[in-house]
């Protein structure tokens, strides 16, 4: 299989979708991006890279961070304890739906919607205090083998200012739900917002994808995540990773994936491949339009569907 050729073909295929979708507008700091920059990165089983397009462009990881927040929480508390705070079920509502939370008696449906990730951030904050964010950043740097990964402070400011839905949700979680009354929810929001503003490239996301797809081992065979935690992440990515599009994504692409409103999509694959895409214009559910289209294309070409 000529992976180089297929990656280039996938990139060329993506171009016709560049006019579709919109750049996220509820976080002002995310608006100033090149709408035409897009790309994809694939890493084969042996660790070779195949890349096309804006591979080094850096953008905020946004919701993709939720995968790593939950892995840290799994390492800290274990799955059974976490189940008491956050569910494991898919949602038919938007990722920041307050209604979804209320319908579920204020227990977040899963760790990949905002209410779930805010609760996970609370649990990490309870354990590590303000150092929780350092732990998340360190984790992502280690898994992506890139010490230069940092936090976009400008986007942090606008996320904190404009994150009204998250503020509503976190107060609701504290009023009745898993967040205790004695914490300052703004400290928890700070962990969450900073974790969302970690700045990565598509090459970084492909390396993160590689580790998840290889049961927690990186390209040098170093075990960085418990294989069971990698499996849990892949499962949640498949069932909840693209929010209320997850069922369609399972049919259309057939991979685990986690998207973010910064435009990135990190997949988890069978066959030990690392695969990630970027394109800043989003569909109505908050998933990159060109990213989804490129994933549909390459999944079919490489027969990647896990179903
Ligand atoms: N920081 C964003 C938020 O809290 C992340 C959402 C996303 O990428 N879907 O709304």
Q: Does the pLDDT value for residue 271 go beyond 90?
A: no
pLDDT at 26: 87
Which domains does the chain possess? 3-57+201-302 (3.40.710.10), 63-196 (3.40.710.10)
User: Does any ligand 1 atom lie closer than 6 A to the CB of residue 159?
Assistant: yes
Q: Does the pLDDT value for residue 279 go beyond 80?
A: yes
CB 264 within 8 A of CB 202: yes
Q: Could you read off the pLDDT of 43-77 as tens digits, one per residue? A: 999 999 999 999 999 999 999 999 999 999 999 99
User: Does any ligand 1 atom lie closer than 6 A to the CB of residue 261?
Assistant: yes
User: Does any ligand 1 atom lie closer than 6 A to the CB of residue 166?
Assistant: yes
Query: Cα(31) to centroid of ligand 1, in Å?
Result: 14
pLDDT at 25: 86
Number of C-beta neighbours around residue 156 at 10 A: 19
pLDDT at 29: 84
Query: Cα(241) to centroid of ligand 1, in Å?
Result: 12
Helix (H) or strand (E) holding 266: strand 264-268
Cβ neighbours for 286, distance < 8 A, ≥ 6 positions apart: 24, 63, 94, 95, 243, 259, 261
139 — pLDDT class (breaks 50, 70, 90)? very high
What's the predicted TM-score (pTM) here? Answer: 0.97
Q: Could you read off the pLDDT of 221-267 as tens digits, one per residue? A: 999 999 999 999 999 999 999 989 999 999 999 999 999 999 999 99
149 — pLDDT class (breaks 50, 70, 90)? very high
Average pLDDT over residues 96-117: 95
Q: Does the pLDDT value for residue 281 go beyond 80?
A: yes
Burial of 179 (0-12, 13-18, 19+ CB in 10 A): buried
Q: Does the pLDDT value for residue 83 go beyond 90?
A: yes
Report the residue among 61, 101, 111, 114 best suited for mutation to probe ligand 1: largest number of ligand atoms under 8 A from its CB.
114
Instruction: Return the DSSP state at 285.
Output: T
Matching residue, tokens 């559910």: 285
Percent of the chain exceeding pLDDT 90 equals: 93
At residue 47, φ and ψ (nearest 5 deg) are 90, 10
Average pLDDT over residues 128-148: 98
32 — pLDDT class (breaks 50, 70, 90)? confident
Matching residue, tokens 């999944």: 299
Which two three-digit tokens encode residue 118? 């805010």
Cα–Cα–Cα angle for 110, 112, 115, nearest 5°? 70
pLDDT at 270: 77
């Amino acid at each position: 299989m000529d992976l180089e050729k297929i990656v280039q073909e996938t990139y060329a295929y993506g171009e016709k979708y560049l006019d579709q979708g919109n750049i996220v507008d509820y976080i002002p700091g995310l608006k100033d991006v090149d709408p035409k920059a897009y790309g994809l990165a694939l890493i084969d089983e042996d660790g070779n890279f195949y890349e096309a397009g804006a591979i080094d462009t850096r953008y905020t990881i946004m919701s993709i961070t939720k995968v790593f927040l939950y892995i840290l929480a799994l390492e800290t508390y274990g799955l059974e304890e976490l189940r008491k705070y956050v569910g494991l079920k898919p949602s038919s509502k938007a990722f920041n739906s307050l209604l979804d939370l209320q319908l579920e008696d204020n227990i977040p449906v899963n760790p990949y919607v905002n209410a779930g990730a805010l609760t996970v951030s609370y649990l990490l904050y309870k354990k590590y205090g303000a150092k929780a964010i350092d732990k998340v950043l360190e984790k992502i740097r280690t898994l992506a083998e890139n010490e230069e990964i940092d936090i976009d402070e400008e986007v942090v400011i606008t996320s904190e200012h404009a994150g009204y839905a998250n503020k509503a949700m976190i107060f609701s979680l504290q009023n009745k739900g898993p967040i205790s009354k004695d914490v300052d929810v703004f400290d928890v929001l700070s962990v969450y917002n900073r974790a969302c503003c970690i700045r990565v490239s598509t090459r970084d996301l492909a390396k993160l994808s590689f580790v998840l797809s290889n049961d927690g081992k990186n390209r040098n065979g170093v075990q960085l995540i418990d294989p069971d935690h990698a499996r849990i992440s892949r499962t949640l990515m498949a069932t909840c990773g693209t929010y209320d599009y997850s069922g369609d994504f399972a049919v259309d692409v057939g991979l685990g994936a986690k998207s973010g409103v910064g435009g990135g999509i990190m997949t988890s694959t069978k066959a030990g491949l690392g695969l990630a895409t970027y394109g800043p214009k989003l569909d109505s559910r908050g998933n990159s339009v060109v990213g989804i289209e490129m994933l549909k294309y390459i999944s079919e070409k490489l027969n990647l569907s896990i179903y």
